[in-house]
């Protein structure tokens, strides 16, 4: 049996949901939050973000979807992980109007976490390759706090794909109805000049979700006051500047506050 990579402070779990098994790492106490890592995998930067969520008083589940947990970011690792993820049937990297099949067991994980922990519900955050997954996970009633950080699927290789999001039309309609009926909201994060998570994609989310979409778009254009590179992409991990008042730190603080607002029981 292959050795399971260890993440300091996290317990490893594997759980069967129907025909699918999910491997995930877990840490913390309090309401549940599912953090779905970006390409190339659970890097130290992704783990550091998950640590922040756990330290803020949440039970974090960190699914292992691809890559080698704990391995550092590098160009070669990113390329290999990208190729591997794009050809796996669990993910829909290029198709329009389709949800990735992996969302079904992720919904089941959210349901199980809520049944175990109780409270109002759970949070779900995706980033980059997994950025749009939290939207599709809202078909599970337990998911109350969805966050889309630089959602990048379908890859913006055509104009239509630049403005699309990886969810099928029926699911999107059901999500919109739920947002309206339960007065919920979706939080989205991106850098303004990110060519992968485009302006058109956030415009499309605004058009579809209306006032139920809260967008944080960080200025990364030429001459921006914080000197943020136009190549910046990963708001909460690789491009986070953990200094009070920096736009990325403000975005991180808003994510944690969003989880608190939606997931903590109030009298």
Residues 21-45 have a mean pLDDT of 96
Q: Which residues contact 56 (CB under 8 A, 6 or more apart)?
A: 256, 259, 260
Q: Confidence class of residue 93 from pLDDT cuts 50, 70 and 90? A: low
Tokens of 198: 């485009």
- The answer to whether residue 224 is domain-embedded is yes
pLDDT digits (tens, 9 = 90+) for 167-200: 999 999 999 999 999 999 999 999 999 999 999 9
Domain that holds residue 236: 11-263
Is the pLDDT at 267 greater than 70? The verdict is no
Distance CA 72, CA 20 (A): 28
Domain count for the chain: 1
Q: What's the pLDDT at 242?
A: 97
What average pLDDT does the structure give for the chain?
93
Q: Is residue 2 part of a domain?
A: no
pLDDT band at 17 (very low <50, low <70, confident <90, very high): confident
CATH assignment at residue 99: 3.40.50.1820
Q: Is residue 4 part of a domain?
A: no
Taking the model in full, what pTM does it have?
0.95
Q: Is residue 84 over pLDDT 80?
A: no
Which of 91-95, 162-166, 211-215, 258-262 shows the lowest mean pLDDT across its residues? 91-95
């Amino acid at each position: 049996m292959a050795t399971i990579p260890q993440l300091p402070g996290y317990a490893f779990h594997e759980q069967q949901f129907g025909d699918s098994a999910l491997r995930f790492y877990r840490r913390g106490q309090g309401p549940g939050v599912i953090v779905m890592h970006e390409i190339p995998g659970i890097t130290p930067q992704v783990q550091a973000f998950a640590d922040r969520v756990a330290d803020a008083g949440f039970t974090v589940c960190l699914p292992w979807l691809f890559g080698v947990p704990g391995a550092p970011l590098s160009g070669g690792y990113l390329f290999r992980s990208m190729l591997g993820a794009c050809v796996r049937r669990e993910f829909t990297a290029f198709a329009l109007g389709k949800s990735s099949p992996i969302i079904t067991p992720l919904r089941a994980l959210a349901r199980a976490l809520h049944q175990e922990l109780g409270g109002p519900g759970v949070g779900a955050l995706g980033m980059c390759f997994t950025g749009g997954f939290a939207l599709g996970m809202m078909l599970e009633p337990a998911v109350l706090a969805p966050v889309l950080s630089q959602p990048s699927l379908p890859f913006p290789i055509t104009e239509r794909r630049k403005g699309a999001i990886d969810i099928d039309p029926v699911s999107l309609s059901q999500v919109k109805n739920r947002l309206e009926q339960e007065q919920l909201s979706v939080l989205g994060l991106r850098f303004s000049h990110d060519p992968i998570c485009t302006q058109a994609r956030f415009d499309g989310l605004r058009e579809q979700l209306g006032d139920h979409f809260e967008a944080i778009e960080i200025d990364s254009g030429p001459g921006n006051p914080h000197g943020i590179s136009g190549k910046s992409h990963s708001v909460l991990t690789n491009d986070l500047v953990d200094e009070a008042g920096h736009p990325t730190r403000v975005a991180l603080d808003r994510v944690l506050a969003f989880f608190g607002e939606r997931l903590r029981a109030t009298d």
